[in-house]
Chain A
């Protein structure tokens, strides 16, 4: 049989061949490509850049340019719903799921009030005041598994998020910070090392005043009595029993709020923090006291 002979022959050939080793291995043909450009008579013709035009000259046109046509991105000339978008306040989102993660991993202390400074310090949230970012928008993602009992201060929150936090016996406040205060909150150490007195927080602009004075949004300028009334109303609307925080052992912690002029918890405007020697300097001059309390 011919095929058997072939098999025998090839097997004997194989047996006579040396074992595979590093010395007799080589790459597949064509698997390695030299990065060098040919320069001989025909190797150096076009080098893959093609013949004529922008390809050959490698003058890559700007994005969206259609060689003289009216570009696609300019064909619809105006979109009025974007008017003034570069001036609007932005609130980069932080979801309840992320917040739950932060709390579960013990990256934030829930036995103290949580504010934007403590959330930035966890390293899971970042924002840029110079890009019109005005703080945290707490969003409802992960609302069903949110179980923490916290006293939190954010800059924007929707109704269902407020309900989710209050249902667990927590407290939420929405507060406005001007961009300069946000720089301080983002990196307090940098500010303290600059050796300046802590400034006052500025009041919100006229178009934000409605949000931050509304007890429905738990605004920091709202009447506390109305806020507690709204807490009850929201509990009835969403159908949960509002936990009684007055009987809570940590009631004093849940009552802690910043003054509308205050930036850091526990630090008042006008104080100088000496990080090196670990003490605080407080002004005594009447004029300074008056300025910082105004």
Chain B
């Protein structure tokens, strides 16, 4: 029978409740008062029995442990209780008291290799490479914009000329049409004057006369062109002569 000596310890809640309800301050407890605590096997067994009887929660052992902040089972009850994940969780939740070796918390060599492999696939580029690629992409986009702007500016510079050309072309077309119309009208008028009375333009005689007139006109035009050509030739010849004579004078 082994007896041990302990200083008497009061439960703090009890003291608190005494303080709360007492009208006078409770008698100060004598410090270092020595009491005898029996911790023989018999006594311990009796205490355990009493504790067991006090537990009227009707909770299962696992749940009872859990709500008292202990790991629910000491022995694995299920296949899942053998996994690393479960043991890590036990360590995380119940700390060192869980009895789990904390070295489980870190990944194994194989897991590290797998993670590194995953990362090499998921993040193939370094930050520097990605920055360069982004800068390159931006530069290319900017280049496309600049090229387009340049192109537009060059085209815009020519717009005035192109506008003028187009307008000239259109005006020329209109003028030509006008001239042809006037020419035709003149011919018709001449024919009409020839006959001395208004003749239906669909008349055969009228048509005949018109054709004849046209022919004459064409001939005249041809002659005029020929004369103009000759005149030009003459002018050219004269110029040449003058040049030759000047050259002779100089020499």
Binding site for B on A (CB under 8 A): 192-197, 202-203, 206, 209-210, 213, 221, 270, 272, 274-277, 281, 283, 285, 287-288, 291
Majority secondary structure of chain A interface residues (helix, strand, loop or mixed): loop
Total A-B Cβ pairs within 8 A: 76
Please tell me if the beta carbons of B88 and A283 are within 8 angstroms of each other in the complex. Answer: no
- Cβ of B116 within 8 Å of any chain A Cβ, yes or no, is yes
Q: How distant is the Cα of A194 from the Cα of B86 in the complex, in angstroms? A: 9
Instruction: Given A206-B130, A210-B134, answer yes or no on A274-B88 (Cβ-Cβ < 8 Å).
Output: no
* Shortest beta-carbon distance from B61 to chain A in Å: 21
Segment 41-90 of B: residues with Cβ below 8 Å from A: 87-90
Residues of A within 8 A of B134 (CB): 206, 209-210
A4 and B130 alpha carbons, distance in the complex (Å): 101
Given known A210-B134, A276-B97, A288-B106, contact A203–B127 (CB-CB < 8 A): yes
* Among all A-B residue pairs, the 3 with the closest Cβ atoms: A276-B95, A195-B92, A195-B88
Contact residues on B (Cβ < 8 Å of other chain), bracket: 20 to 34
Q: Across the interface, which residues of A come within 8 angstroms of B87, CB to CB?
A: 195
Q: A203-B127, A288-B106 are in contact. Are A195 and B96 (CB under 8 A)?
A: no
Is B197 in the interface zone, CB < 8 Å from A? Answer: no
A sample of 16 cross-chain residue pairs with beta-carbon separation below 8 angstroms, ordered by A number, consists of: A192-B92, A194-B89, A195-B87, A195-B88, A195-B91, A196-B105, A203-B127, A203-B130, A206-B125, A209-B127, A272-B102, A274-B96, A274-B102, A287-B112, A288-B107, A288-B112
A197 CB contact (under 8 Å) in B106, B109, B133: B106
Inter-chain contact A195/B123, CB cutoff 8 Å: no
List residues of chain A with CB within 8 A of the CB of B109: 287
User: Which of B125, B126, B131 gathers most chain A CB within 10 Å?
Assistant: B131
B139 at the interface (CB under 8 A from A): no
CB-based contact B127/A213 at 8 Å: yes
